[in-house]
Structure 1
Amino acid sequence: MRGPRSIEIWKMGAVNYLEALKLQEKLTSDRKTHKIKDTLLSLQHPPTFTLGKRRTVHNVLVSEAELKAMGAELHYTERGGDVTFHGPHQAVLYPIISLRDIRIGARKYVENLESTMIELASLYGVKARAGHTGETGVWVGHRKIGAIGVRISSGITSHGLAFNIDPDLNYFKHIVPCGIADKEVTSLQKEVGKVLPSEQVIHEQLISSFVKVFGYTDVTWRDKTSDDKE
């Protein structure tokens, strides 16, 4: 009989993208050497565009100088997936977990991330679905509400998912989101059309959905929103 499946949740608030990237690299290394248990970072970023390891720069429709002029950063990453946007009023989860320990493969891992966002949307009466072939992420009809881009190294995950609560959707007009042309991007607020609970509540509901979908039974919380960020 297997013991409890444990995870530590870090609630981090707003975090600069490069700071979060550096933290993920450290935690991934620590997880590989068993210094830490599975860890989930819950946060949001200032306006940031990121490219995956395929470097599909052609899907960024304006110059880097123009992005800077609008107060946004552009970063190159080693995750899978295409170009995407992160910003305020978007819930981001970065799982640093051992797929070997929880005994699932890469495909099932991505499906679980999709299910996490689908479950959150369902709490608000929004019927979301996983993408069809060639469509990554989570969709409401033909409108994308959640993005997924992951990296798996020696069975340890990093990067993760981004769910649109109520971001400024105009930022997405400057890219071909996830490399999929002629499809809209949407948000929970746009789909629900009425006052939502606080974003803190929605972030916690997303975490709860993740914990449920992945079957964690022993959850500890760590508030990293103050000056003790590592």
Structure 2
Amino acid sequence: MLATTQNTTINMILLASTVSGSIPGNQLINSSKQRPSSRSCVVNSAVAMTNEVKRSCEFYDMHKELIPYAEAWSWQKDIVKKRKELIEREKDCSDTLIILQHHPVYTLGTRSSEAYLNFSMKNAPINVYRTERGGEVTYHGPGQLVIYPIINLRYHKMDLHWYLRALEEVVIRVLSSTFFIKASRIEGLTGVWVGDQKLAAIGIKVSQWIAYHGLALNVATDLTAFGQIVPCGIQDRQVGSIKGLLQEHVSPNQRGAENKYDIDDNQLIDITHKSLVQEFCKIFQVHLRHKPIPAGIAWERPEVLHSITEKGD
């Protein structure tokens, strides 16, 4: 059965005035119907804390910025080190949330196999980093929102499986509530899927119950870079993006000769970012405290990189 979206749903995303499309396999949820909760029983235990005082969370919002991976990685480890010192003094009173985009980069988990790289490490097309997170190789780049929660699980739930499912739940709710896209989990795999397309990859590291690294959601990502790797070591499935799903299901006659139904990447990033923050706060029951970008963190706007790439420099 085909599921259709109402015009008002896509108006949030597209520059055109009205759009009506359909996606097979019920991947888009009819906005006239009740939205599914997509809640798993394991995540409900966290949401049930609504009567408790919300934990403070320092929020570094750089969703419009491109941050070099090495800098963000070093920054995370520095925060974790300081948090451990605060725990020893019994003064750990907040979590941290970082949202950003990265320059193009491949990252591998601590036990990732180089067999999943379709190139030689000595002749890599872009920077490659082996990190201490779990999981196999993945790609980060412009148009992809990366979330790095640095969370003391002692104040949430000391269960790594719960934490992974909770991160997945954030994305599942974003796709459902904002885009009416029905996403799901796949038994035995980590991440968020729409059909056989993986939209969000998750890889974490936990040290003394402090979790860091996090998740990456393909919003308006150029997916061609995934062709140089076997993403997450999964051979028989694809990688997808929110933009790709929306574009696939706008009919050719609606696009028109002027391509007026193209999706604006910046608008899509902003809408997704807002929803991610809201759902993260609901799932983890935190109160955000906005913080400025720390001095010394190098960044630039995604459109600057796009301009340089077009020039071929």
TM-score when scaled to structure 1?
Answer: 0.91
Deviation of the 1:222 alpha carbon: 1.8
Aligned to 1:171, what secondary structure does the other structure show?
Answer: helix
Counterpart selection for 1:4 from 38, 54, 59: 54
Structure 1: any 5+ residue segments left out of the alignment? none
State the alpha-carbon separation in 1 of the partners of residues 290 and 271 from structure 2: 15
Give the root-mean-square deviation of aligned CA atoms.
Answer: 1.9
State the alpha-carbon separation in 1 of the partners of residues 81 and 277 from structure 2: 23
Sort the Cα spacing of 1:93 and 1:59 in 2 relative to 1 into closer, same or farther, 3 A: same
Deviation of the 1:155 alpha carbon: 0.2
Structure 2: any 5+ residue segments left out of the alignment? 1-50, 248-260, 299-313
Show the counterpart of 1:75.
129
Counterpart selection for 2:155 from 101, 104, 107: 101
Asked if 1:192 is matched to 2:220, the reply is no
Show the counterpart of 1:201.
271
Asked if 1:59 is matched to 2:90, the reply is no
Show the counterpart of 1:20.
72
Contact 2:138 2:231 in 1 (8 A): yes
Aligned residue type for 1:10: Y
Show the counterpart of 1:215.
285
Per-residue displacement from partner, 1:142-164 (whole Å, max 9, x unpaired)? Answer: 11000000000000011000000
State the alpha-carbon separation in 2 of the partners of residues 223 and 202 from structure 1: 21
Query: Which is richer in strand?
Result: 1
Contact 1:31 1:97 in 2 (8 A): no
Per-residue displacement from partner, 1:27-58 (whole Å, max 9, x unpaired)? Answer: 01112222662001101111110010113110
Aligned residue type for 2:274: E
Show the counterpart of 2:173.
119
Contact 2:54 2:285 in 1 (8 A): no
Query: Which is richer in helix?
Result: 2
Question: What pairs with 1:30-49 in structure 2 (closer than 5 Å)?
Answer: 30-34=82-86, 37-49=94-106
Deviation of the 1:214 alpha carbon: 1.1
Aligned to 1:210, what secondary structure does the other structure show?
Answer: helix
Deviation of the 1:204 alpha carbon: 2.5
State the alpha-carbon separation in 1 of the partners of residues 240 and 158 from structure 2: 30
State the alpha-carbon separation in 1 of the partners of residues 111 and 297 from structure 2: 31
- Higher alpha-carbon Rg: 2
Contact 2:147 2:214 in 1 (8 A): yes
Provide the identity percentage. 37
Deviation of the 1:63 alpha carbon: 2.0
